[in-house]
Amino acid sequence: MTEKLSKLLSRAPVVPLVQSNDRNEAVAIAEALLDGGMLVLEVVLRTDAAYECLQAITEAFPEVEVGAGTVLSGAHAEKATAHGAKFIVSPGLHESVVRVAQDNDIPVLPGIATATELQQAWNMGLRIVKFFPAGLSGGPKMLKALSSVFRDVAFMPTGGVNKDNLLEFLNIPSVVACGGSWLTPKAAIEAQNFQAIEKLSCQALEIAESRG
């Protein structure tokens, strides 16, 4: 992880997910998240216009750390990097994705759910990973167990994290941030209610600030 990304996550340890099929809408979502105090954004590659949305956000907010999520292959990683991604996140662990990120000298957070996958990531030189799907893979208890063995690894749990359990995850010393899909609810986006997204962002940071 770059020093800049690490510092930003220490200040705002939630990484909201941006999903849209329209570049203008994507920029509006990003703006609402930033207005709510978010400092790092992840644009997920789950729509036909995802790369276009990624580039639109990076161009609109060049000072913001914007990454690409749901990166499934080396080709996806290369294209995401070409469209401005400053870090790469994937749901699973795949060597080609890791290699592209390392070749481009940008952080990569592959998804792991088991000790076996984490050991593979560790032996690839990775010291920060995504724990996914966090809620279905044992939640905080599983993270604590993994952390006791892989003591030099940091985690970004994603999937099943919400305002009700955010603090429990963030209070685990090895957790540097949580993925925040709940910050960009589909209903709010469809209603163009970007103020709701800003409010959810503020709420998440208030919870993060109460960490023990």
Residues, the chain, total? 212
d(CA 40, CA 126): 20
**Rounded to 10 degrees, what is the CA torsion of 99, 102, 104, 105?**
180
Report H helices in the chain: 3-11, 23-35, 50-60, 74-82, 95-103, 115-123, 139-149, 166-170, 186-190, 194-209
Mean pLDDT over 27-39 rounds to: 98
Q: What is the pLDDT of residues 37-66, one digit of tens each?
A: 999 999 999 999 999 999 999 999 999 999
Give the 3-state secondary structure of residue 184: coil
- β-bridge partners, 111: 130
How many other CB atoms sit within 10 Å of the CB of residue 3?
7
Q: Could you give phi then psi for residue 121, rounded to 5 degrees? A: -65, -40
Q: What is the number of helices (H) and of strands (E) in the chain?
A: 10, 9
Instruction: Give 2's pLDDT tier (boundaries 50, 70, 90).
Output: confident
Mean pLDDT over 158-170 rounds to: 97
Question: What was the pLDDT predicted at 156?
Answer: 98
Q: Are 160 and 166 in contact (CB under 8 A)?
A: no
Mean pLDDT over 155-171 rounds to: 97
All domains of the chain in start order, with CATH: 3-203 (3.20.20.70)
Q: What is the pLDDT of residues 70-98, one digit of tens each?
A: 999 999 999 999 999 999 999 999 999 99
d(CA 79, CA 189): 26
Predicted TM-score (pTM) of the model is: 0.96
Question: What was the pLDDT predicted at 10?
Answer: 93
Instruction: Give 67's pLDDT tier (boundaries 50, 70, 90).
Output: very high
Instruction: Give 1's pLDDT tier (boundaries 50, 70, 90).
Output: confident
- The mean predicted confidence, pLDDT, of the chain is 97
Instruction: Give 212's pLDDT tier (boundaries 50, 70, 90).
Output: low
d(CA 89, CA 195): 27
Mean pLDDT over 185-199 rounds to: 98
Query: Residue 158 above 90 pLDDT?
Result: yes
Query: Residue 211 above 70 pLDDT?
Result: yes
State the catalytic residues. 42, 130
Residue 208 to residues 114, 163, 181, Cα–Cα distance (Å):
26, 10, 16
d(CA 167, CA 162): 9
